[in-house]
Structure 1
Amino acid sequence: MTTADTPRTWFVTGASRGLGAYWAEAILARGDRLVATARDSAALAPLSERHGDRVLSLRLDVTDSAAVDDAVRAAEERFGGIDVLVNNAGHMLVGAVEEVTEEQARAQMDVNYFGALWTTRAVLPGMRQRRAGRIVQVSSFGGLVAYPALGVYQSSKWALEAMSESLAAEVAAYGIHVTLVEPVMFPTGLVASSPQARQDPAYAHAREALYAGAGASGFAPGDPAATADALLALADAPEPPLRVLFGTGGLEALRTEYTGRLAALEQWDHLSRLAQGKPGGQ
């Protein structure tokens, strides 16, 4: 792995808007090289115009595994290897479980989970060969908890969490670090730019509970631009964490969430013991 003082090569999906756009600018501002991908490559043109050959802008649909392989191959041919992968591409489907169509559910998993899986798999051979690399998976606070009207979106992030935790244990021997970034609340326009489920009046209470919960959580919207400094600091950390919250308020909410989970499991431990049966099955 290169040091913080040596230019690195980053591969960032979803680099044309939201947090990805801020991160792309910050990466280039400090002199690193960037492979920026987006479904609309025209949106990336200003990066190339300002930063020249330190940028490789690619049109990429992360749900197309063959296209992902081609993009990673082009990046490695251009820059000689990828030091940091940031899986940022994604969208947020709002809707109760019954409201979501099959097509919407599959599309949500294809982008948020399988898209990250394909890019991760594509960079691993090179990182293993060099015995160095960073993989940053952009999850969500919703990858650690679940709220009404976000079940399918959050299931895609829970899947990303499990895959990434297993991956971290698998690749540590090769000097590859995996970190799940958990943004808490940032005004990035994610919901407005995402497909939405039809609204069934039967689940109006679920949407009301979602928005009431967000208001009562005490989460203050963070500054999206400030996340760039946090991302660069994460990339520079000699031993980065498996998980890190971006934004405040999440730690307190998680303490409440996990305390409640443990309490419920303890309350029903008698059923756990009943299910265990007697030693030897007798």
Structure 2
Amino acid sequence: MDFTPNSTRYNLPSDAVWFITGCSSGIGQGIAKYVTAHPTYRLVATARKTAALDAIADGPRVLKVALDVTSQSSVDAAVAAAVDRFGRLDVVINNAGYSLWGDTEAATEEQERRQIETLFWGTVRVSKHAVRVMRDENPKSGGRQGGIILNVTSMGGFLAVPGGAFYHAGKFAVEGFTEAFAKEVRPEWNINFCIIEPGGVSTNFTGSSMDVCQGHPAYLKDAPARLLEQYMMSSGTASGWSDIGLIAKAIDKLVTSGDRIPIRLPLGSDSYGAIVHEVELVKKDLEDFKELSNSTIPTSK
């Protein structure tokens, strides 16, 4: 059986409706500004509080909506408002999130659950609505069925580093969910999924968008997570990070190319390089332990 996702080419309408979560700052805000600058795109910009969306220009093609992705009723209301205003959704970007950083043993259960609730369950809630609207509502507006769902993880959705156990758990979950959902939707619905995996981006991700655990006494100053923290916070680290405007431009090119949509797209040379390296490590382990892996299959008598 062939479960290849995104098997049909996609053509974005010229007046596409973009629905973006987490527009108060960072990547979400950058994409939202890019969309508002386009002469025909329409935008639904969301954040927990609409006052946080002041940096995004107002206008007849812009709808600002309060959205807390951890609340099902809030998600329901935001999607309903978007459909009521524009009649359809063409590009849905699940971007809302933050990182929980620190020693795994030091995290509280409240911190752990809040991280997964935001990163994973928030994406699930919005994605399920997106598929419903793209399949059932879009044709009612006089347009065609279909759309693109972009779930933003990071290179941390493909590989893990010390200090980010629960962040990685949430992002890995989003990637598995996205791959499975992409293989479930029927080709004739013309709904495509893509996992966006940025590397370092010039945002406040290591500032206000980060929750830090108290250090655990068993992990000393030279522990792997401490060394990585020092590197991430050092002044020169961000010099090679991606520009938000170029991230937005790349995403627009992805959805307007008329070509097939890949199931995942690393953005940034750091993300691309790290993922390629991780694939090579996995491949080496597979080869080195191939005999042991296959030893569980009984030999024929």
Total equivalences in the alignment: 277
Structure 2: runs of 5 or more not aligned: 1-8, 140-144
Which amino acid letter does the alignment assign opposite residue 60 of structure 1? Answer: L
| Structure 1 contact 2–8 (Cα < 8 Å) conserved | no
Query: Pairwise CA RMSD of aligned residues?
Result: 2.4
What residue in structure 2 maps to residue 228 of structure 1?
A: 248
What residue in structure 2 maps to residue 166 of structure 1?
A: 180
| Structure 1 contact 219–249 (Cα < 8 Å) conserved | no
Cα deviations by residue, 1:53-80 (Å, 9 ceiling, x for unpaired): 2111111110111210111011101101
Q: 2:15 aligns with which of 7, 25, 40?
A: 7
Q: How does 1:30-45 map to 2 (within 5 A)?
A: 30-31=38-39, 32-45=41-54
Counterparts of 2:275 and 2:66, CA distance in 1 = 37
1:80 maps onto 2:81 in alignment:
no
Counterparts of 1:165 and 1:123, CA distance in 2 = 15
Alpha-carbon spacing, 1:274–1:240, altered in 2? closer, same or farther (3 Å): closer
| Structure 1 contact 93–195 (Cα < 8 Å) conserved | yes
| Structure 2 contact 201–241 (Cα < 8 Å) conserved | yes
Query: Would you tell me which structure has more helix in proportion to its own residues?
Result: 1
Alpha-carbon spacing, 1:46–1:271, altered in 2? closer, same or farther (3 Å): closer
Q: 2:37 aligns with which of 25, 29, 35?
A: 29
| Structure 2 contact 11–255 (Cα < 8 Å) conserved | no
Counterparts of 1:186 and 1:64, CA distance in 2 = 28
Shift of 1:219: 8.7
Secondary structure, counterpart of 1:195 in structure 2: strand
What residue in structure 2 maps to residue 181 of structure 1?
A: 196
What residue in structure 2 maps to residue 117 of structure 1?
A: 124
Which amino acid letter does the alignment assign opposite residue 285 of structure 2? Answer: A
Task: Report the TM-score, using the length of structure 1 for normalisation.
Answer: 0.90
Cα deviations by residue, 1:192-235 (Å, 9 ceiling, x for unpaired): 112211111322403234347769x9992121222111121112
Secondary structure, counterpart of 2:69 in structure 1: coil
What residue in structure 2 maps to residue 266 of structure 1?
A: 287
Counterparts of 1:172 and 1:222, CA distance in 2 = 35
Counterparts of 1:192 and 1:88, CA distance in 2 = 17
Shift of 1:3: 5.3
Q: Comparing both chains, which one has the higher relative contact order based on Cα–Cα distances under 8 Å and sequence gaps of 6 or more?
A: 2
Which amino acid letter does the alignment assign opposite residue 69 of structure 1? Answer: D
1:202 maps onto 2:218 in alignment:
yes
Percent same amino acid among aligned pairs?
Answer: 33
Structure 1: runs of 5 or more not aligned: none
Alpha-carbon spacing, 1:117–1:169, altered in 2? closer, same or farther (3 Å): same
Q: 2:162 aligns with which of 148, 163, 172?
A: 148
Secondary structure, counterpart of 1:70 in structure 2: helix
Shift of 1:46: 4.7
Secondary structure, counterpart of 2:80 in structure 1: helix
